[in-house]
Structure 1
Amino acid sequence: MDTLPLEPLRLSAQQTLVWDVESDLIVVGFGGAGACAALEARERGLSVLALDRFAGGGATARSGGVVYAGGGTPYQAQAGYDDTPEAMQRYLQQEVGDAVDEETLRDFCQRSAEHLAWLERQGARFEASVPPLKTSYPSDRFYLYYSGNESVPSYARLAPPAPRGHRTKGRGMSGVNLFSALRTSALAKGVTLYSQCEVRRLILDAQGAVIGVEAWRLPPGAAATRRHARLAKLVTALHPYLPALAERLSARLRGIEAEHAQRLLLRARRGVLLSAGGFIFNRELVRQHASRYLDGLPLGTPGCNGSGIRLGQGVGAVPARMDKVSAWRFINPPLAWARGVIVNAAGERYCNEEVYGAKLGHAMVEEQDGRAILILNRRLLLDSLRQVAPGRVWSFQRLPVLLNLLFNCRRGASPEALAERLGLPAQALRQTLESYSRAARGECADALGKSTAMLADLDQGPWYALDLSFGSKLYPCPAITLGGLRVCERSGRVLDAAGAPIQGLYSAGRNAVGVASNLYVSGLSIADCVYSGRRAAAHLASSATATPLNA
């Protein structure tokens, strides 16, 4: 897949174009960020044309539909939790690092509850039900949970913990429910959507301002268009598991587009927003910027191919933090797995096992060459089987656990015997288990600061090991990219190499650097899509004369 910038159509002072359609704002990529920007623009009186190569939704519709929100939301209060924007900021600062400046993070946290209320006005629903135990993703009975490291002792010392994962209410995986509400609201408010419409070039005027796009659209209702839609769904479903087959089918998608798509010249009177997602499905871009993550399971859709980033690069935009990839090594559920120990190739622990899966994944890939071996004893193994019984967890959580317990589990009558089977230093593994067990019995503090309730005495065997390393085929590790185009943090305008805004061009979501561009916790990317999408639309509207929709 190509990694080069997508060069624009540059007009001379003497050139004019016959535009097929004109709109105040053109949105390139109608996922979470694009939909939020489109809605905000319409509410401020701007006309909006949204374009998507597929049916819309992007990674947001494929996600768990979690919005990271806090600072005192109604659902936190109903569940009995006090939270403040200041506490939220102190926690997030540990995750966000220097991805955005302090003022941006403060604004993100102070406006968090308002953004959640705005989503509700678009039709999204939330709830105050909290699961009794920590989990990577709650069942359909629960919709508010600790979606990051808030309650881990080392984080809780710096910021009072509160659940901030607001999962969109509805049956099944909530991403579909969230995007459906956004899409329905956007169309009802007058956003025009061209699906199966790919932007291949930005259009610049003689002064270098972005004034429109060249797009290629499949004819609505045509047989080839219906065939393209069916094939796109199949590619999305197959790509993570059968990438070679998915790539062959993707070539057929390209063939349909090449033969049947029709060229459109679309003028943006006020600006163009790039919101086409990240680049995890562009394996060459991943190889170029973050090659150690190639063994991960791409999470998202084939539309997450870096096209929006490349469009920006073609007009002088600068990508940043392209090496930032989030690998999700979740080991809870079952909770019993998180009470075991994770060791590296030297038989030593390196991360508190109760942390959020992205933090464990980061340590695994960035610090341990992708190695993660989970050690349990018989009691924890039996507990884990009970905890993934039907009706207790999602099937996507249960089946990998059962597969690994059946086909990826090694047993040892002693730590030394287990170490021999794993090719680990025997003495080091024994010392690791003994030290951990002493902490579980209260004889000393845990070396990695694990909560007392999450410790387990592993003195009694037999012992079992599961190789959950990054490249595991039986326990694949999902990954998403976090880098994108550099933008002005007050407006969402795309910046050039000198740090100056490119006139007429904005970016949002994972197409751009934002709050979620360092370390990841569940819901932070969608929350950033809402924040950055609305920010860009608000700035664009404020710089133009617009009549509010409800005026």
Structure 2
Amino acid sequence: MGQEVEAVRETDVPGWDNSVDVLVVGYGVAGACAALEAHRAGARVLVVERASGGGGASAMSSGIFYLGGGTAVQKACGYDDDPEEMYKFLMASSGAPDASIVRSFCENSVAHFDWLEAQGVPFERTSFKGKAVFLNTTECLFSTGNEKLWPYKQIARPAPRGHKVAGVGENAGAKAMEALLRTCNAEGVPAIYDSGVTALIRNDEGRVVGARIRQPGRELFVRAARGVILTTGSFNLNKEMTSKYLPLLSETSEPLGIPSNDGSGIKLGLSVGAATQAMDGVIATASIYPPAQLIKGILVNKRGERFVAEDSYHGRTAAFIMEQPDQTAYLIVDSEIFAYPEIETHQHRLIDGWETVEEMEAGLELPEGSLQKTLADYNHYAAEGRDPFLFKDPEWLKPLDKGPYAAFDVSFNKSIYLFIALGGLKTNAHAQVLDPRGNPVPGLYAAGACAAHIPQTGKGYASGLSLGPGSWFGRVAGRHAAGCR
């Protein structure tokens, strides 16, 4: 889809090729959930998908759903959580401007988990207690955000909320999508593939009433009597948009997603007067862990100063590294905790080893005395089990005083940071797309990554805050568009 998109007036439609109640554009997790709920509510539904089959970027994900409030898995694994604690944490950490959206997600999280299982999405009653980015096992529950980080642990009771489907590796999300698509197919939800929506259609009153669809060799006009739901994914793969909205990305940054994550849904929304939100938000990752022992090291910038608690969620750490002078950062370790970062694709380079801190400071070309002071202060308080500067948890504190020392280059413009855009169409708690005045665009809904995420920046992200809210608000959109209030 080109950069410029224009809506089509209903009076210019040559004729309707099909008429449905709810048209769902995109068949990832949000689209599948939207279509299923609208169909079950009695609406005539059609799903339009650009690819040759369903799944979207959700099927390429690590399959983590951020859910909490006391899910069956949390209870089985012995963790105490409730919706209010989840809400307090997300409001404090995410920067979400609409509390009603966060409240809806948190208060319905337990029931939504049960719903996902009822559709066949597999979750074990197991947990992983270590620090990981993704799991190469089928274990389910683990900490995937900043719940244990200061100051959030003082605001809300920490609990692990990352629920990974019972798949293995970086693309475990395929297991979730297989189940949801199987359920959609079993219940007769209609879908067409190799079909791209090129324009929304609206009537003289400004209501979205359908879409123009391009298929190989022909063009279709489909009427949607009750609403169009956009679930088209993010704009990660659109270089023009990422250059415009995410200027801090470096040449070594690589987008996570699939080719159709080109911002098409956002552009369709803009064509009918929609507002956007958090378009400069991005979650990037090039984690220093595993192994977890590296968290006991320190991260310093080119001034030899620490700037983030090293036990932060890897996306939060990346967001701070992105903002450092020249986007430069080094991971400093001593001989007791030395190890190579295990995710080799991030390409954190070992710079060298040194016998003394003074030699390391000179080797890294840091200001004279800077690293020496940083380490002296850090070691002094680490020996007492505290970090009065950045409040790193005592679990990860140890004096770095056992030479020789080593440094890894984890700079944002040197290592390979993978990223997801967090901005998109502005929506309300009913998943209705809003205009710049905060009023719903009649007949238009959005869910998933083409809508603005709950977390507005990478500093407030947690793994699973795409699939979790995306699937929930997909359901919300489907029900609301079908007429359930």
Q: Normalised by the size of structure 1, how large is the TM-score?
A: 0.83
Distance 1:443 1:112, change over 3 A: closer
Query: 1:8 corresponds to which residue?
Result: 7
Query: 2:67 corresponds to which residue?
Result: 69
Deviation, structure 1 residue 324:
0.8
CA–CA distance in structure 1, aligned partners of residues 88 and 435 of structure 2? 31
| Residues 1:53 and 2:50 are matched in the alignment | yes
Deviation, structure 1 residue 367:
4.9
Query: 2:440 corresponds to which residue?
Result: 501
Distance 1:541 1:2, change over 3 A: closer
| Residues 1:305 and 2:262 are matched in the alignment | yes
Question: Aligned letter for 2:370?
Answer: A
| Residues 1:373 and 2:314 are matched in the alignment | no
Query: 2:133 corresponds to which residue?
Result: 136
1:537 to 467, 478, 481: 478
Checking the alignment, whether the CA contact within 8 Å between 2:232 and 2:264 is kept in structure 1 is: yes
CA–CA distance in structure 2, aligned partners of residues 62 and 349 of structure 1? 35
| Residues 1:321 and 2:318 are matched in the alignment | no
Can you list the C-alpha shifts for 1:491-550, whole angstroms capped at 9, x where unaligned? 222222333222211111121124244431000111111121111112112269xxxxxx
SS in structure 1 at match of 2:323: helix
Checking the alignment, whether the CA contact within 8 Å between 2:129 and 2:143 is kept in structure 1 is: no
SS in structure 1 at match of 2:20: strand
> Unaligned regions of 5+ residues in structure 2, if any?
none
Question: Aligned letter for 1:328?
Answer: T
Distance 1:320 1:398, change over 3 A: closer
Deviation, structure 1 residue 370:
2.3
CA–CA distance in structure 2, aligned partners of residues 356 and 64 of structure 1? 16
Checking the alignment, whether the CA contact within 8 Å between 1:322 and 1:483 is kept in structure 2 is: yes
2:16 to 10, 13, 19: 19
Deviation, structure 1 residue 3:
3.7
Question: Aligned letter for 2:344?
Answer: L
Query: 1:91 corresponds to which residue?
Result: 89
Checking the alignment, whether the CA contact within 8 Å between 1:293 and 1:325 is kept in structure 2 is: no
Deviation, structure 1 residue 191:
1.4
| Residues 1:274 and 2:230 are matched in the alignment | yes
Distance 1:372 1:433, change over 3 A: same
1:490 to 418, 423, 429: 429
Checking the alignment, whether the CA contact within 8 Å between 1:2 and 1:284 is kept in structure 2 is: no
Can you list the C-alpha shifts for 1:412-471, whole angstroms capped at 9, x where unaligned? 222222222222123111111122222222176442111222112211211111111112
Deviation, structure 1 residue 139:
2.9
SS in structure 2 at match of 1:301: coil
Checking the alignment, whether the CA contact within 8 Å between 1:32 and 1:60 is kept in structure 2 is: yes
SS in structure 1 at match of 2:160: coil
Query: 1:188 corresponds to which residue?
Result: 186
SS in structure 2 at match of 1:118: helix
For residues 408-487 of structure 1, what are the structure 2 equivalents within 5 Å? 408-442=350-384, 445-472=387-414, 475-487=415-427
Deviation, structure 1 residue 300:
1.2
Query: 1:162 corresponds to which residue?
Result: 159
Checking the alignment, whether the CA contact within 8 Å between 1:286 and 1:294 is kept in structure 2 is: no
CA–CA distance in structure 1, aligned partners of residues 126 and 177 of structure 2? 21
Deviation, structure 1 residue 368:
4.6
Deviation, structure 1 residue 150:
1.3
Checking the alignment, whether the CA contact within 8 Å between 2:138 and 2:165 is kept in structure 1 is: no
Checking the alignment, whether the CA contact within 8 Å between 2:378 and 2:387 is kept in structure 1 is: no
SS in structure 2 at match of 1:157: helix
SS in structure 2 at match of 1:273: strand
SS in structure 2 at match of 1:309: helix
Query: 1:548 corresponds to which residue?
Result: none
Query: 2:30 corresponds to which residue?
Result: 33
CA–CA distance in structure 1, aligned partners of residues 300 and 480 of structure 2? 49
2:203 to 202, 205, 213: 205
Query: 2:100 corresponds to which residue?
Result: 103
| Residues 1:512 and 2:468 are matched in the alignment | no
CA–CA distance in structure 1, aligned partners of residues 360 and 168 of structure 2? 43
SS in structure 2 at match of 1:163: coil
Query: 1:522 corresponds to which residue?
Result: 463
Checking the alignment, whether the CA contact within 8 Å between 1:516 and 1:525 is kept in structure 2 is: no
Query: 1:334 corresponds to which residue?
Result: 291
Query: 1:288 corresponds to which residue?
Result: 244
Checking the alignment, whether the CA contact within 8 Å between 1:436 and 1:446 is kept in structure 2 is: no
Checking the alignment, whether the CA contact within 8 Å between 2:10 and 2:204 is kept in structure 1 is: yes
Deviation, structure 1 residue 345:
1.2
Q: RMSD value over aligned CA atoms?
A: 2.0
Checking the alignment, whether the CA contact within 8 Å between 1:204 and 1:212 is kept in structure 2 is: yes
Deviation, structure 1 residue 61:
1.1
Distance 1:294 1:193, change over 3 A: farther
State how many pairs are aligned: 480
Higher helix fraction (1 or 2):
1
CA–CA distance in structure 1, aligned partners of residues 329 and 250 of structure 2? 17
Question: Aligned letter for 2:483?
Answer: S
Query: 1:354 corresponds to which residue?
Result: 311
Deviation, structure 1 residue 178:
0.9
Distance 1:445 1:116, change over 3 A: same
SS in structure 1 at match of 2:398: coil
Quote the sequence identity (%): 37
Question: Aligned letter for 1:22?
Answer: S
> Unaligned regions of 5+ residues in structure 1, if any?
219-260, 389-396, 545-551
Distance 1:439 1:2, change over 3 A: farther
Q: Normalised by the size of structure 2, how large is the TM-score?
A: 0.94
Distance 1:100 1:128, change over 3 A: farther
Question: Aligned letter for 2:430?
Answer: S
CA–CA distance in structure 2, aligned partners of residues 309 and 338 of structure 1? 38
2:300 to 343, 346, 350: 343
CA–CA distance in structure 1, aligned partners of residues 87 and 385 of structure 2? 35
Question: Aligned letter for 1:23?
Answer: V
Checking the alignment, whether the CA contact within 8 Å between 1:438 and 1:444 is kept in structure 2 is: no
Checking the alignment, whether the CA contact within 8 Å between 2:135 and 2:168 is kept in structure 1 is: no
Greater mean deviation of Cα atoms: 50-59 or 318-327: 50-59
Checking the alignment, whether the CA contact within 8 Å between 2:385 and 2:397 is kept in structure 1 is: no
Distance 1:11 1:102, change over 3 A: closer
CA–CA distance in structure 1, aligned partners of residues 48 and 385 of structure 2? 61
Checking the alignment, whether the CA contact within 8 Å between 1:287 and 1:294 is kept in structure 2 is: no
Question: Aligned letter for 2:431?
Answer: G
2:110 to 109, 113, 120: 113
